[in-house]
């Protein structure tokens, strides 16, 4: 079933006003296949919309918006381990908490990340030292050109820091329908990132770790239901060792994290904060007062205004630190905006 002129204002965590020309919400693989077979996916622009937590929507979204709604998940136990088979429309946080409550290790550090499971591989979501790639076994996708289903193992997804094959070679060409994740009863807490360890006993349960993660995130991040936002608006930049060393000499308190594959990850929020932008506001958007990495929506305004504000933030960081910040949320539709604006 295709709906026309659908209001998506409540379907994106930024709370941007948006009317979609056509929307389809397939609840199973057969329904998705029918959309391809009947030619709906080939009629003009196509946008994939999951939980709307990492997407910037225009006021008018042309073409077809596809919202996969496969909402079943189940466990396949294998001794102390298990595979979790998850439909694309399953709420990510709900899944994490359900598994943690049952005593399964693997996803607890990724609690309270908004959105649905089908979008998780696109961004390779991550938090507190853990990424989706650490728990993913495989996924199933459908090619939009011919309706062909394909299974990819984790090593075939080209995962990186907030990157994947689905943002490059397969961008706009496939729909992820379900995931297979690995969890274990014999896991252990991963508490080396942030202040998680200080909040927990020496031998916490998965549920206790997930609850601690939720507490930290609630302290630092605004609730999208109360103040529109897309979580982290910028990626944490990665620089080489010599550049990081020079920055540390000038800023001894600068947070940094050495990567196993080389390079040093910096904290984009710290860089923005050092520019005096925490709590700064311009029009309908601004930098969150507690977490500078988050751009918030105060109501009204448009995607173009949001991107212009983000560009001003990035310009200030570039001017002070000579570091380029890269936007995390993806653009939907045909947005025409100059992201090179300078801070007014």
Instruction: Pick the closest to residue 304 from 58, 60, 63, 61 (CA basis).
Output: 58
Instruction: Pick the closest to residue 334 from 308, 303, 310, 305 (CA basis).
Output: 303
| Residue 55 in domain | yes
Angle, CA of 210, 211 and 215, to the nearest 5°: 120
SS3 per-residue string spanning 259-299? CCCCCEEECHHHHHHHCCCCCCEECCEEECCCCCCEEEECC
Looking at the structure, tell me whether residues 81 and 213 fall in a common domain. Answer: yes
What mean pLDDT do residues 267-286 have? 97
Residue 65, exposed/middle/buried by CB under 10 A (0-12, 13-18, 19+)? buried
pLDDT, position 41: 80
Looking at the structure, tell me whether residues 213 and 227 fall in a common domain. Answer: no
Q: Residue 7 has which token pair? A: 């209001």
Q: How far is CA 48 from CA 8, 183, 291, in A?
A: 13, 28, 28
For this structure, is 185 an active site residue? no
Asked if the model's pLDDT at residue 343 lies above 50, the reply is no
**For residue range 67-104, what is the model confidence (pLDDT) as tens digits?**
999 999 999 999 999 999 999 999 999 999 999 999 99
Q: Residue holding tokens 């996708």? A: 141
For this structure, is 328 an active site residue? yes
| Residue 22 in domain | yes
Looking at the structure, tell me whether residues 192 and 284 fall in a common domain. Answer: no
CATH number of the CATH domain containing 7: 3.30.43.10
Q: Residue holding tokens 């918006």? A: 65
Asked if the model's pLDDT at residue 317 lies above 80, the reply is yes
pLDDT-derived band at 334 (thresholds 50, 70, 90) equals low
Share of the chain above pLDDT 70, in %: 97
Asked if the model's pLDDT at residue 232 lies above 80, the reply is yes
Cα separation, 131 vs 159, whole angstroms: 10
Asked if the model's pLDDT at residue 281 lies above 60, the reply is yes
Among the options 59, 163, 305, 328, which is catalytic?
A: 328
Question: Looking at 49, 66, 83, which one is the last position of a domain?
Answer: 66
Q: Residue 202 has which token pair? A: 């020496």
Strand 55-56, strand 330-331: pairing: parallel
Among the options 53, 164, 232, 302, which is catalytic?
A: 232
φ, ψ dihedrals at 94, nearest 5°: -60, -40
Instruction: Pick the closest to residue 293 from 339, 327, 251 (CA basis).
Output: 327
Radius of gyration of the chain (CA): 20
What mean pLDDT do residues 182-208 have? 91
Among the options 22, 162, 182, 316, which is catalytic?
A: 162
Assign residue 162 a region (left: φ > 0; alpha: ψ between -120 and 50; beta: otherwise).
left
Domain count, the chain: 3
| Residue 145 in domain | yes
Asked if the model's pLDDT at residue 341 lies above 50, the reply is no
Asked if the model's pLDDT at residue 262 lies above 90, the reply is no
pLDDT-derived band at 33 (thresholds 50, 70, 90) equals very high
pLDDT, position 339: 41
Looking at the structure, tell me whether residues 142 and 170 fall in a common domain. Answer: yes
pLDDT-derived band at 222 (thresholds 50, 70, 90) equals very high
Looking at the structure, tell me whether residues 190 and 125 fall in a common domain. Answer: yes
Domain that holds residue 319: 223-331
pLDDT, position 271: 98
pLDDT, position 161: 86
Longest dimension (CA), the chain: 61
For this structure, is 248 an active site residue? no
pLDDT-derived band at 335 (thresholds 50, 70, 90) equals low
């Amino acid at each position: 079933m295709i709906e026309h002129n659908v209001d998506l204002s409540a379907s994106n965590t930024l709370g941007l006003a948006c009317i979609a020309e056509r929307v389809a919400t397939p609840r199973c693989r057969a329904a998705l296949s029918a959309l391809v077979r009947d030619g709906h996916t080939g009629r003009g622009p196509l946008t994939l919309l999951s939980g709307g937590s990492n997407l910037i929507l225009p006021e008018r979204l042309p073409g077809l918006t596809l919202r996969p709604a496969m909402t079943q998940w189940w466990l396949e136990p294998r001794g102390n381990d298990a595979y979790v088979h998850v439909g694309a429309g399953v709420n990510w946080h709900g899944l994490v908490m359900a598994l943690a409550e049952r005593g399964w290790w693997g996803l607890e550090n990724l609690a309270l990340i908004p959105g649905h499971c089908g979008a998780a591989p696109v961004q390779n979501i991550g938090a507190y030292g853990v990424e989706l790639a650490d728990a993913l076994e495989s996924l199933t996708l459908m090619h939009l050109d011919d309706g062909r289903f394909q299974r990819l193992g984790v090593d075939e997804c080209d995962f990186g820091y907030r990157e994947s094959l689905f943002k490059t070679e397969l961008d706009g060409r496939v729909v992820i329908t379900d995931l297979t994740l690995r969890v274990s009863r014999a896991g252990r807490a991963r508490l080396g990132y942030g202040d998680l360890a200080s909040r927990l006993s020496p031998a916490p349960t998965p549920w206790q770790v997930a609850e601690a993660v939720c507490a930290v995130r609630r302290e630092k991040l605004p609730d999208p239901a109360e103040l529109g936002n897309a979580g982290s608006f910028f990626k944490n930049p990665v620089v080489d060792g010599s550049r990081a060393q020079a920055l540390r000499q000038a800023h001894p308190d600068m947070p940094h994290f050495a990567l196993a594959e080389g390079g040093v990850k910096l904290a984009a929020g710290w860089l923005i904060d050092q520019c005096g932008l925490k709590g700064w506001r311009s029009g309908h958007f601004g930098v969150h007062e507690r977490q500078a990495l988050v751009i918030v929506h105060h109501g009204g305004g448009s995607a173009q205004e949001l991107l212009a504000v983000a560009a001003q933030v990035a310009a200030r960081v570039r001017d002070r630190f000579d570091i380029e910040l890269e936007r995390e949320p993806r653009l939907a539709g045909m947005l025409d905006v100059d992201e090179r604006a300078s801070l007014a």
